[in-house]
Structure 1
């Protein structure tokens, strides 16, 4: 058993159960101070993790101390003013969402060369695959099986890199949301296994699986009172037409052997789909819902008034991912190199008709030609 599996299993053992009833009673007695205490505890835990991380890094020659750095992959543009043949983008909400925990963000242009993408993957401490509108699988001809799009192939290349890193003992976490969540499962199944759901502009409750209480690393740090809120209230925002049914999840060996379903939700017609999942073998995580929209996308379609409990739960996810990224020992060669690649070197665009800001990235010419060739080939067949 390699060192990464030992570390990952130790992490699982550490998060085997929820807080005890006695802890819960004590927590409820201090309900008024919970927000402040959780914030202070989180800061102390992050500081302790950071000290441990710094201690490890200080032994590496020519290294420097910094906060964890994650990469966020851009997706093909779906905006009329910025056609996908020329642009890709990242929503500002994802950047703001993960930055609030202290994570530093570096954008990955999906049209960049695989060599450049791999080079950056060897320096960051984690990867995020976002939601958005993009085709993951398409038929070139009527009657043919669906095949992965060029964007999906690039994202799967990054997922495979993350898998190999973990297999070699280099802890490397992955977070996925909505479209990225679907892409993660598709990469393991290597075929179209999604079902259709009516879950556009929709809020829903969480239905927790039996694995949630014994094996979830994400939920283990949430109090029982907050978990109860997730079960009883429609907290999180969904905006998808594809997803994975409970039956599909449980009966697909490539999915079931690699992931635990932590929770399900129901669409607007009562159909159940997987909403939260965690990797069994790899530190890969994902949600079908959009936790980032609660704080950083108050557009008209999802401007539902939120509660302090929703805010606590939403903030828990990037804080959890921060601690996961602390376990990665990858570093940039210098602070100057890292600084030159941060998202702060790019200016977001705010334009009428957009729900929120976007970071735009010009397509690399070589990939752009490939996209245009594929488009022309598809249209002529």
Structure 2
């Protein structure tokens, strides 16, 4: 397996209590109308992302939007990684929103890794777009495209195996990902190799896989930072096991679940290399997602369950 460049980390694989965070995002108007009435929903986290992390053997602390960088730094010093989820928060420049929070998290994570403190980030769909956006100086580099409600295999790049993410992938999982339509796409923006080049970030990221939208536009499906333990995928592995909207093309086959589990296990294993922990078990318990109510939203939403913060 190729090692991440320029950083010497000490592994903490024996860490028993792996705690990761999932970033919340602003609740869209449709959520407010359907599930909150006149009350404020604040922000939300789709439960499938929480289950994705739990499926790899970790627990979840929710991270709130609209906070200071000191807040994000304080949370990140106690946890072992952050997942930037997909969703509908398309405006990365909204003050106090998902994009601003993600920028703080990205910068703090870079700072930690530069100091030899291993801290992974994972971006799914909108989260991958956000990683590219922030690394481009918070400039809008996405292209309009249409790859929504499509399940496709990955078109792996020739050097995909020279990566952390795929360097030790089992042959059966590799065959599933590259041959079967198990990767669920739900995005109307695309990150392209051309735009990454034009915005000066291609040298920061190793492109591992590509796909095409319904009109033939080629877009980037998987990226990995060349310097830090940061990973982005444009598809949704969490939907394979945890989202069941009948009008959505979420793959639920045994092979689709096996492929999803690979990504969940990989990310949590990356988090095991972090030796962060809470100062006390009581503080840890009080910070976990279990302290928040979960709502069944599947009758009127693409998400089966949602946490409102």
1:341 matches 2:296: no
8 Å CA contact 1:237, 1:302 repeated in 2: no
Residue by residue over 1:72-120, the C-alpha shift from the partner in whole angstroms, topping out at 9 and shown as x without a partner, is: 1100001132489751000000001110111110001113444333211
| 1:202 is aligned to 2:150 | yes
CA contact (8 A) 1:200 1:238 kept: yes
Deviations 1:212-247 (A, max 9, x none): 02x222222322343233222221111111111222
- The residue that corresponds to 1:245 in the other structure is 192
Deviation at 1:185, TM superposition (A): 0.4
CA distance in structure 2 between the partners assigned to 1:194 and 1:154 by the alignment: 19
Partner of 1:224: 171
Structure-2 residue corresponding to 1:360: 308
Match 1:160 to one of 102, 107, 114:
107
Residue in 2 that maps onto 1:293: 239
TM-score, L = length of structure 1 = 0.73
The answer (yes or no) to whether the contact 2:220–2:234 under 8 Å persists in 1 is: yes
Q: TM-score, normalised by structure 2?
A: 0.89
Match of 1:7? 8
Query: What SS does the aligned partner of 1:116 have?
Result: helix
Q: Is contact 1:346-1:359 (8 Å) kept?
A: yes
Taking a change above 3 Å as real, the CA distance of residues 165 and 331 of structure 1, as seen in their structure-2 partners, is same
How many residues are treated as equivalent by the alignment? 297
The separation in 1 between residues aligned to 2:94 and 2:235, in whole angstroms, is 23
1:293, distance to aligned residue in structure 2 (A): 0.2
Q: Point out where structure 1 has 5 or more consecutive residues left out of the alignment.
A: 11-48, 55-65, 138-146, 362-381
| Counterpart mapping for 1:1-381 below 5 A | 5-7=6-8, 52-54=13-15, 66-78=16-28, 79-81=31-33, 82=36, 86-137=41-92, 147=93, 149-151=95-97, 152-190=99-137, 191-213=139-161, 215-253=162-200, 255-302=201-248, 304=250, 306-351=252-297, 352-355=299-302, 356-361=304-309
**1:47-94 Cα distance to aligned partner (Å, 9 max, x none):** xx87x535xxxxxxxxxxx42111111000011324897510000000
Q: Decide which structure has the larger Cα Rg and report it.
A: 1
Equivalent residue of 1:5, what SS? coil
1 CA distance for matches of 2:226 and 2:199? 15
CA root-mean-square deviation? 2.3
In the aligned structure 2, how far is the partner of 1:148 from the partner of 1:305? 33
Q: C-alpha separation between the residues in 1 aligned to 2:250 and 2:102?
A: 32
Corresponding residue SS for 2:257: helix
Q: CA deviation at 1:149?
A: 4.4
Larger CA deviation: 104-113 vs 75-84: 75-84
1:6-57 superposed Cα distances (whole Å, 9 cap, x missing partner): 436x9xxxxxxxxxxxxxxxxxxxxxxxxxxxxxxxxxxxxxx87x535xxx
Q: State the Cα distance separating 1:304 from its structure 2 match.
A: 4.9
Tell me the residue number matched to 1:26.
Answer: none
Give yes or no for contact 1:5–1:169 (8 Å, CA) kept in 2. no
Higher helix fraction (1 or 2): 1
Q: Distance in 1 between matches of 2:124 and 2:189?
A: 13
| Aligned mates of 1:184, 1:134 — CA distance in 2 | 14
Q: 2:192, 2:218 → 1: CA distance?
A: 6
**Unaligned 5+ runs, structure 2:** none
Aligned-partner Cα distance in 2 for 1:342–1:180: 21
Give how far 1:318 is off. Answer: 1.2
Q: Quote the Cα distance in structure 1 between the aligned partners of 2:65 and 2:250.
A: 33
Q: CA deviation at 1:329?
A: 1.6
On the 8 A contact 1:175/1:286 being kept in 2, the answer is yes
- Say if 1:4 and 1:166, in contact at 8 Å, map to a contact too: no
